[in-house]
Amino acid sequence: MNDTDKRHQFDTVVIGSGQAGLAAGYYLALQGQDFVILDAHPRIGTSWRERWDSLRLFTPAYISSLPGMSLSVPANTFLSKDEVANYLEAYAAHFHLPIRLNATVKTLSRLNGRYLLAVNDELLEAERVAIATGACQQPRIPSFASELDPTIVQFHSDDYRNHNQLQPGAVLLVGAGNSGAEIALELAPTRQVWLAGRDPGHRPKNVPPLFRSLYWWLLHQAINTNNKIGRRVKEQAESAGAPLIGIAKDAFERAGVERTPRMVGVQEGKPQLQDGRVLSVTNVIWCTGFVPDFHWIDLPGFENAGYPVHTRGVVEGEPGLYLLGQPFQYTLTSSFIGGVGRDAKYIVEHIVAHPSARELPLKTAVKV
């Protein structure tokens, strides 16, 4: 028996069992495809369960379902993080999706026109791979964070759970996107709070029923990467962050949160703002977003953990390789629970229309 005989072979491997991976699994199953979903976590929904305690979706239930299984809650319900995790778990069970948990993909490479995945202590071989590892991979923390006085408690919002992690005194939240804004408002009743960063704009949380369809159509379909308006919105979201959903413009003033310009450095161990002010705080929470983590991919376009060129998730130059669930992959909703289904359907339709990726010559060596 040679090495190839020992490999588990699939037509398609989906990496990640979050909302994007599950949506892909749903459509692959509908098409009768041979596939498996891999996830490094011990339980479906772990990434949601590990977010901060009070986190809720900022999109209402009527636009927050995966394909084929609507949420059985009132339309304007905003699910808690644990409710989202439980929904994902129930979704996978309902459709009997083939998922391997505790399956860490160490490397992804090419050999003889097929993809080779080193998963724990075994090798998997696939014609196609869909990378659905999500938008929240590697926390982005500025290099000057290490210059802060060691007495200041600091961590990324990815590690925030509740106020008990903070020491007494003022807190600076660096980054004024949805995470920074929500945590700032949560902490404001019990301490002095500064929120540093540009205002990304505001969007309503509750849309009147008469306008719901139009509002969702604009976000979900009309404003996309195929038109100038969509590309402009994408550039704005990437530079200034997505707009705050459901947080009124005067919410910070009413709560006593002080808005400030961006933090640009450290002076004598203290945070320094763009306007020159130096703040005396005892806590800093970095709400500075995430960067993709593709260090484990040994394929052209991913060198130095780079971000590959793709069109609606179809990676250029790598037949059979796909991305799913990335921010603004096609529209603003591409990473939303209610938006990944559209992109997953597109990817699976592409998979069905291109059944073989074998024509690609050997490009990389296998790393195990």
Is the distance from CB of 79 to CB of 64 less than 8 angstroms? Answer: yes
Query: How confident is the model over 180-233, as pLDDT tens digits?
Result: 999 999 999 999 999 999 887 766 666 666 666 776 677 767 787 778 887 887
Q: What is the mean pLDDT of residues 106-134?
A: 95
Is the distance from CB of 270 to CB of 278 less than 8 angstroms? Answer: yes
DSSP string of 53-89, one letter each residue: TT-B-SS-GGG--BTTB---S-TT---BHHHHHHHHH
Taking the C-alpha atoms of residue 9 and residue 331, their distance in angstroms, rounded to an integer, is: 33
Query: How confident is the model over 232-255, as pLDDT tens digits?
Result: 877 777 666 666 777 878 899 999
pLDDT band at 3 (very low <50, low <70, confident <90, very high): low
pLDDT at 307: 78
List of residues 6+ apart from 1 with CB closer than 8 A: none
Q: Which of 3-7, 81-85, 242-246, 296-300 has the highest mean pLDDT?
A: 81-85
Is the distance from CB of 225 to CB of 328 less than 8 angstroms? Answer: yes
Is the distance from CB of 25 to CB of 88 less than 8 angstroms? Answer: no
Domains of the chain: 3-137+292-353 (3.50.50.60), 140-201+243-286 (3.50.50.60)
Q: Which of 166-180, 302-316, 323-337 has the highest mean pLDDT?
A: 166-180
pLDDT surpasses 90 at 337: yes
Better pLDDT: 177 or 271: 271
- pTM comes to 0.88
Token look-up 């100038």 returns: 228
pLDDT at 130: 98
Query: How confident is the model over 127-172, as pLDDT tens digits?
Result: 999 999 987 788 999 999 999 999 999 999 999 999 999 999 999 9
138: left (phi over 0), alpha (psi -120 to 50) or beta: beta
Query: Which of these ranges, 61-70, 82-91, 105-114, 245-254, has the smallest mean pLDDT?
Result: 245-254
pLDDT at 304: 65
Measuring CA to CA, which residue among 119, 102, 89, 88 is closest to residue 19? 88
